[in-house]
Structure 1
């Protein structure tokens, strides 16, 4: 039963694979505790009876023990082993937190005896972490109090040894509070007083050390009538004489458990030469301190004269940033300097001039806080961490979030590989919800570590964005509370960047364009760029490309939580800017369809050409779609409908079919709420095109176009937008019904309107219908006409060019002009592959394969048909492909 964990500190319990086990009432739970104290060893029945009832057990004691064992076996199975000698809990000692506590102290004493003070400190730290509440809580019986008394005494021993190790590694200042509490709780115990005196003396508080000695000597005399023992006398002699031996500080904190990833960053840091300054910067919670400490431990042996570590508290809600004078005082004391001269910096640099010391300056607020603390010595290396980008000479490591694989690896490290392996999808989603931020991942994993949560439970809790930061909080540890850590960075901002940060949280998309930022801030582009640069230096935004930025998902949620009086006005400006930008791109891609809006205005927008518009559309569509949803959610239905209608050409031109259907649904609902008939008709037309080309549902497509036509005939026929959309509806309906006369009428109407683009569409539709009827020569005539008209519009709309090219190829194939047909169909297939239009790729592959087969060009024909088959839009097309594939195979078979 691998994976069983036993908890004896706090409420007695056990978990398996992270899930809590039901150990029953206090009786069986107490028996379990007694067995766990001797994990892996047999406990006799007499010992169990004595533990639970003492010297006067009831007559039914043995049968009750048997009953308790039966209860435990229901939860633990064969982990409770019975024999003639007694009962045994079949788990290794390291599965029991109390035994890990004891073993950690045992190893610490062994390392202390070997003068390995760093190792002893690490073992003590691990032992202390196991103590998580009153031992054996919930257990009953005479053995409970005996065990608690024993462990309480052992805990004092651990605390004393930990403080002694801290003093020996040059971190005496960290022990003063703990030793003062220990001494107060044990007024007649000499060791904590002796250690306190030593720590006070080492940190320059020798007068206080004398007071401590006088106080304990008086207590011993008053209470016991004895003089101080050897330890106290030796400590007193120490504080009476100056220390001449050089002090070798070893102040590095214990490295975090489950360190994962960052291999490239560690290699980058290891290239830093002595005499330089390595800077690690990144956003809150990304693991800067963790990386710095990990690196420092890896290279500590290169610095035999010691390691200094100072938390500069640049972002600490509980205290102000450490001043330069305070930091120098701490480092000088750690280096053994008792007196603090007026020029501390000069004295500090003099002490390090000929030494090899590693200096870690954590959580720096700015370069001014750091520069006076740099050793300026050829043998010393300084590592600085900060949430801000610091201007310091030396290599810089910009720390980003973990990769998806590293995030899952971190979860597996904390939770156990088996647990993650059992539900990899949930682990991946959890990593995504945490934004791949190490702090968030650790908080989530720690919450699940208790066994009360499964992966899917945590994922479900984090799915609601408004609850996500609450779920990633730790009430007992502010430094492990994601929201609290973000708040420290936010509070360091000046008013203008703080406002900008709040407004960025209202942006609905992932990528933030500089034009959109300027609209949110209500500034020009240069001012917006300066503002974003400031937030970038403080790692509150990331730059993804030139003038393109991103807010980490969790930071975006945090920013949106902050009150902002002018948020709605900023969002309206953002939507209007998005509408103007999208409309400009639409005009570039497809001129001649009529304007969606006549007053679209984004003052920061620069003119763009066709190629730039196509690239822009492909990059910005997810954000524009999110803006449509945000507009509708905030009640700006008119803008939501206009933007949804504007995006039609952009979605069609870049093959974003699924996204388009989502946009249409939101836009239609918004247009109907405002009674916006023209945009209802536009979006119905859009839905018809999407259903026809993407979902291959011509029946539903026809219904959509009919709905559009019914509305449009009631509107002003002189309005170019009405006329253009009515022509689209009729063209699609005529194609669906196979009406040659109606398609010719649409061609005439487009000519009368002087709309070359609609005229080209009508000609191409006529070509396709005539080709389906077998009238290849007339089909070819209209295909040529459509292509020429399209060229005259100046449009390079790749979808329209693809349709025109494929129509000509199909018409040429039907007319027997095979060589020309192959050329056009190859060109059309290349366009569809470029655009990722799967349905069109299937038809072009089919036609190209037929043309090559009929021309006797057998190479690659079978491969084309095999690739086209899964892309067939309907059963008829699939049957035709299979028939041609059979014909090609038969022709290739030896006779």
Structure 2
């Protein structure tokens, strides 16, 4: 069996902890305080696995969840509440990850309370297991606990989560000697253990029975078939520190200098996850060399291998690796490694987006010039990569912005990420992720005093706020974008912000302010002779004046819009503006004029060959004729509209048939 196969087999097995598993199962059946008082349990039952990092606490939670699959058919959902470096993950981000796993769409820009409420609602009534891994405190975990006893929550923490009622922690120490030796044997084979069982017991004792330390010791022995178990135990005894630190230092010192440097640099990888590209960029080596090194690390128990080409550094090793990185590597080298990693990510994102472009396009020609390792063979491969790497890419963007010294690379990374998401998923589907990315751009722009970028980020965020019904939030951001656009002397941002401010007031029903802001935006467009924008703004002014009952002003603006569209040779736009003018005339009590204007609009729609618009206008014309007391003529127009729609439907069916052929 190869080293990689040994590591994979070990990863699938669970060693010891039978007493703890039995206690946890008994705790599930234990009567809670609410039941004793005669009240129905208002919340999910919470179990807690407490122990030091490296004690196998997460593995125990996973083993428990696997054993409960029949009782909880709703599935197992996992969330990590602490970053690999030890910083707590914001609860809102944890909720976003859980919603994605639950298949629940999140509103872009939703706050923490709304997101956690969505999580609790999605889990309500579902007999599922929720693993909250590495929780820092009760305040972090409590908002995620469902208000329904059907769900079982398994918390993993260093110690008690004081504040969550009716929870007894299952505290982990080291593995019992028999189980620890079984774990060690999975790496070394049985021969070296059976020839010196006393040395094996001494070794696992030096490891404190900590699974994390035993795995590193087993990996060290597996890489050295001629080394004895007693030799390793003697070397560990000569080092100072806790068992995990001692075994890690021994494993690190035993690596070749180049491999040790790559291992240290893996602590810079977002979420502690790295594929061959990430390791290659961090270390400045080839992708194939990085791939081989990562596989070797997996065999040594230094990283976990995933099914999608990604490797994860165990959370209990990240602080140790970062301490070695700080001690052995110069800050300039570390910063250069970060920059290389971000640059490689940017190039992969650009390649991921380019594969969606048509053959022969400039983007595809540029893609063909990239090294083979950076190219995706087809759109599906690019989409799969983007989907599997999305959490890491989001973390990369956050880390790049937080760094503060790589803002140019951070902006390029975010811009490439936004384009790739829009190309593969569409702006609407990717809105929650885009909201967070635009917020990161805003952070960089405010830090660097980049007014143009600040205006663009504020406009994008405000658009998403407006789309999700947070009109007042959108209005505030549009006003801030206007200030930023003026500071940048950016006419596009300024005009767009003024028009959007008007749109927000229109949504709020404040017709007077909406008209005022549309008027300001129109004045700017007139000064710059931007005719398409002028026509649109005349129409928006006409709409709010119609709502306000100022029919004379509304009619003048709709006629100005119609004239603008006609000068632009936009026949459908001209017809629509005329139809709105006819609507205003009808509201103003001038049905004969409305009839003539509507007939004119129908004629322009016919010239534009817009069948749907022509049919809609003929139906409006029929309604006007009914009100004028001419039902016969109204019937003729309705029949004509029906024929137009039938003709259009038939044409679509024929076209679809040809496409299938």
Which bracket does the TM-score occupy, shorter chain normalised? 0.3 to 0.5
Q: Which structure shows the higher helix fraction?
A: 2
Q: Say which structure, 1 or 2, has more relative contact order (CA 8 Å, 6+ apart).
A: 2
Please give the TM-score of this superposition, normalised by the length of structure 2: 0.41
Structure-1-length-normalised TM-score: 0.32
Q: Which has the larger radius of gyration?
A: 1
